[in-house]
Amino acid sequence: MEASFWHERWQNQQIGFHRPQPHDMLCRYFKTFAKPGSLVFVPLCGKSNDLIWLMAQGYRVFGVELSELAVAQLFEENGLTAEITQQGVFKQYACGQLVVWVGDFFALTAQDLAEVDVWYDRAAMIALPPEMRSRYVKQLSEQLPPAAQGLLITLQYPVGFRQGPPFSVTEGEVESGFGQRFSIEQLESDEGVINGTSTEENPVTEHVYLLS
């Protein structure tokens, strides 16, 4: 999935993945393990309302997103005035406890993520095709500090049901990808919805994992 794919999506506002409300699994589980004041890393963050929810709960939030359009909209739509600076190859938007770097997730270093306590993935891993997902898992596993915990939300559907993104990520893939580095607990699985539509015989399921 080339960067141009996502830039085009944002340019044309084809952002069916964007939700008007924070994700209910985030709201249900995050505070059960993440200490108040933790620094939360949100890869491929878009302009997610999850970032705003996290901030409202007293967390410090650090997102990374390829599209500057998305980041500008995030701040503007939430009435936040961004201070914009350059951080190496990234452009930084910051306001209060919210910091978002515009640029490529794969360019982040361990130093960039050294202070991260918790990471949160909703629609990041599932946004990537298989070979990029392996790189994504490797990048997180190698660059995050040893004690960092993660909350990961995935979608799963039968082979051939639809083309990605979002891609189906099985429990087996989560286990084989992250299992070496993290201990994995599946907290819940439920009916999943893609782009707001849910048919009567919906084969999509949504899963949330705690990675410690």
Ligand X SMILES: C[S@@+](CC[C@H](N)C(=O)[O-])C[C@H]1O[C@@H](n2cnc3c(N)ncnc32)[C@H](O)[C@@H]1O
Q: In what order do the strands lie in the sheet with 60-65?
A: 83-87, 90-95, 98-102, 60-65, 39-43, 118-122, 149-156, 205-211, 184-191
Q: Which is nearer to ligand X, 67 or 149 (CB)?
A: 67
Q: Determine the Cα–Cα distance for residues 172 and 83; give it in Å rounded to an integer.
A: 42
123 phi-psi bin (left φ>0, alpha ψ -120 to 50, beta other): left
Q: Which is nearer to ligand X, 65 or 206 (CB)?
A: 65
Answer yes or no whether residue 6 interacts with ligand X by CB under 6 A.
yes
Answer yes or no whether residue 65 interacts with ligand X by CB under 6 A.
yes
Candidates 13, 106, 109, 130: give the one binding ligand X (CB under 6 A).
106
Candidates 26, 34, 44, 98: give the one binding ligand X (CB under 6 A).
44
Answer yes or no whether residue 117 interacts with ligand X by CB under 6 A.
no
Q: Which of residues 138-157 bind ligand X (CB under 6 A)?
A: none
Q: Which of residues 17-36 bind ligand X (CB under 6 A)?
A: 17-18
Neighbours of 122 (CB within 10 A): 25
**Smallest separation (angstroms) from ligand X to the CB of 64:** 5
Answer yes or no whether residue 194 interacts with ligand X by CB under 6 A.
no
Phi, psi of 59 (to 5 degrees): -85, 155
Answer yes or no whether residue 48 interacts with ligand X by CB under 6 A.
yes
Candidates 75, 105, 178, 182: give the one binding ligand X (CB under 6 A).
105
**Smallest separation (angstroms) from ligand X to the CB of 44:** 3
| Strand-pair partners of 197 | 194
**If we measure between CA atoms, which residue out of 195, 204, 202 comes closest to residue 170?**
204
Q: Which is nearer to ligand X, 34 or 125 (CB)?
A: 125
Q: What contacts 189, CB < 8 A, 6 or more positions away? A: 205, 206, 207, 208
Phi, psi of 119 (to 5 degrees): -120, 150
Binding-site ranges for ligand X (CB under 6 A):
6, 17-18, 44-46, 48, 64-67, 70, 104-106, 122-124, 127, 165
